[in-house]
Amino acid sequence: MVPLSWYIMLSAVMFSIGVFGFLARRNLIIIFMSIELMLNSVNISLVAFSHYLQSMRGQILVFFVIAVAAAEAAIGLAILIAYYKNNPTIKVDEITGLKG
C-alpha cells in the first residue's frame, strides 16, 4: 500500500512544474496549459485524500474544480482570440498595452 504522503509529494512536484511554466514561458497558450497542469495536480491530491480518509468530499471538490477549469479555459481562450484579432501576437512580453 502506497502511503498518502507519496501522492501529495507527486502532486507538489507537478504543481511546482506548473508554477515554473506559468512564470517562464512566453507563449500565452502554454501559460494556460500550465494553469491546467496546476489544477490537475491539486485534483490528484484531493482524490488521494478522498481515498485515504474514506470520505467522498475530495471527489466532489474535484468535480467542481473540473467544472471551473472548463469554464476558465473557455473564457481564457476567448479573451486570447479577442486580443489576437486586434494585435496578432500571443507572446506575453510583447503584450504591453497597459505599460505606462
Partner 1 sequence: MFFAYFAGMLTVLSVLVVTRRNPVHSVLWMLVLFVHIAGLYLFLNAEFMAAIQIIVYAGAILVLFLFVIMLLDLKKDESVRKFQNQWFLGLVIGLIFMVVLVSTASKITVIPPLGEYSVDAIKSEGSMMTIGKILYTEYLLPFEIASLLLLVAIIGAVVLAKRRIE
Q: Which of residues 6-45 bind partner 1 (CB under 8 A)?
A: 6-27, 29-30, 32-34, 36-37, 40, 43-44
Q: How far apart are the first and last CA of the chain?
A: 57
Rounded Cα–Cα distance for residues 46 and 57 (Å) = 9
Count the neighbouring beta carbons within 10 Å of the beta carbon of residue 48.
Answer: 19
Residue whose CB is less far from partner 1, 48 or 100? 48
Q: Which residue type occupies 85?
A: K
Give the footprint of partner 1 on residues 70-99 (CB under 8 A).
Answer: 70-75, 77-82, 84-86, 89-93
**In terms of CB distance, is 3 or 100 closer to partner 1?**
3
Q: Site for partner 1 (CB under 8 A): which residue of 68, 95, 96, 98?
A: 68
Could you count the other beta carbons within 10 Å of the beta carbon of residue 11? 21
Specify the residue, 33 or 98, whose C-beta has the smaller distance to partner 1.
33
Q: How many residues bind to partner 1 according to rule CB under 8 A?
A: 75
Residue closer to partner 1 by CB (options 97, 100) is: 97
51 SS3 class = helix
Phi-psi category of residue 77: left, alpha or beta, with phi > 0 → left and psi -120 to 50 → alpha: alpha
